[in-house]
Amino acid sequence: MKLLSHFIIGFILSIFLFKIGYGTTNISIFLLSSVLIDLDHLQMVVVNKAFTIDKILQLNKDIYPEYKQHPDTAYLNVIYIFHTIEFNVVLAMTGILNNILFFISVGFIFHIICDVLYFLLTGMPVIRWLSFVAWINSKRVNKE
Ligand SMILES: [Zn+2]
């Protein structure tokens, strides 16, 4: 799902949160984190050495055709750490103790739910690992 779509949907939810009494600081943390979670996609940029805007746009364009050609290789190894179940379980637990981390966690989880719904509604394949443990396990299994 595109960043702008995440922002628009997050903004609409923010208006609702404001109406039911949440403060602007908490809502801002929620909205920012629901967009900035995608900073973990920079990992792809570094791995593929796509250090110019053109290369990043090309990389983005190539992901799905590349996946269709080689469904068993490269892009199946994509993992975005902030989008993993394990990271979000730990973040949600720390959110019990700290207000800022709580709203970051809510923003992250909201973003991931939007991503999953987007994949389901568009029928696009999920070509990334959603679990860090499953990703590590796949590396181990491939070596055997
Ligand atoms: Zn995302």
Task: Kindly give the distance from the C-alpha atom of residue 37 to the centroid of ligand 1, in angstroms, as a whole number.
Answer: 7
Task: Kindly give the distance from the C-alpha atom of residue 125 to the centroid of ligand 1, in angstroms, as a whole number.
Answer: 14
Task: Kindly give the distance from the C-alpha atom of residue 144 to the centroid of ligand 1, in angstroms, as a whole number.
Answer: 32
Residue whose tokens read 């805007």: 53
CB 35 within 8 A of CB 10: yes
Give residue 46's domain range: 3-143
Task: Kindly give the distance from the C-alpha atom of residue 106 to the centroid of ligand 1, in angstroms, as a whole number.
Answer: 14
Task: Kindly give the distance from the C-alpha atom of residue 129 to the centroid of ligand 1, in angstroms, as a whole number.
Answer: 12
First to last CA, the chain: 35
The structural domain count of the chain equals: 1
Residues 41-70 pLDDT 10s: 888 788 888 888 888 888 777 776 766 666
Residues 83-125 pLDDT 10s: 999 999 999 999 999 999 999 999 999 999 999 899 889 887 7
Ligand 1 (ion): residues with CB under 5 Å are: 38, 115
From 118, 76, 111, select the one nearest 91 (Cα to Cα): 111
